[in-house]
Amino acid sequence: MPNADVQCEMGREREGGRDTESLIRELLPLLRRRASRLLGQDADDAVQTACLKLLRSSDSWLSHPNPAAYAVRAVTTAAYDLAERRAKDTPVDEFPDHAHPGDPMAQREARWEVGRLLSAVPRGQAAAIFLVDVQDYTIDGAAAVLGVHRGTVSRARAHGLRAMRGLVGLAEAS
């Protein structure tokens, strides 16, 4: 696509002694006012789009009975199109690296992941991990609930955590 200077040179068609470029220069303040009423600070984008359209279709524009009205309509259409495009673009905030503690979706996903990992290890190891790491029991409290020695809970928990780390790719370097 040619740049604006080349397009201006291409648009120097005479109509009643006026060329496209000079007519655009005359109408530019009017076009900017109209676009700024519709878009505010994004007005220049709509004006540029409309001017490029006017330069490309200079035959139909200059042969129109009221070229100023044609130009205003072009900038209005460009402004509406730009506003519609921007309304469809929904900005997404940056996602944090870690979930916030009160985020219900993150809590639900964490529960699913814990359930998935606990189901992948033997039942005794899963029980030890669940009581100590999820329910915040002490090793002695978990041993009392399970009816086993505290060493059994510690060993089962250690083996289960090692297996779970392997499942998520975080195996300890031994």
* pTM of the model as a whole: 0.43
Contacts of 58 (CB under 8 A, 6+ apart): 11, 13, 20
Pick the closest to residue 20 from 52, 58, 76 (CA basis): 58
Q: 104-167 domain in CATH 1.10.10.10?
A: yes
Instruction: Summarize pLDDT for 57-115 with one digit per residue, the tens.
Output: 888 888 889 989 999 999 999 999 988 888 777 666 665 566 566 778 878 888 888 88
Instruction: Summarize pLDDT for 107-148 with one digit per residue, the tens.
Output: 888 888 888 999 999 999 999 999 999 899 999 999 999 999
Asked whether the beta carbons of 34 and 47 are under 8 A apart, the reply is no
Q: Would you state the pLDDT for residue 146?
A: 92
Three-state SS for 64?
Answer: coil
Tokens of 54: 């006017």
Q: Which is higher by pLDDT, 25 or 9?
A: 25
Burial class of residue 71 in the structure, from the number of CB atoms within 10 Å of its CB (0-12 exposed, 13-18 middle, 19+ buried): buried
Residue ranges covered by each domain of the chain: 4-88, 104-167
From its phi and psi, is residue 119 left (phi > 0), alpha (psi between -120 and 50) or beta? alpha
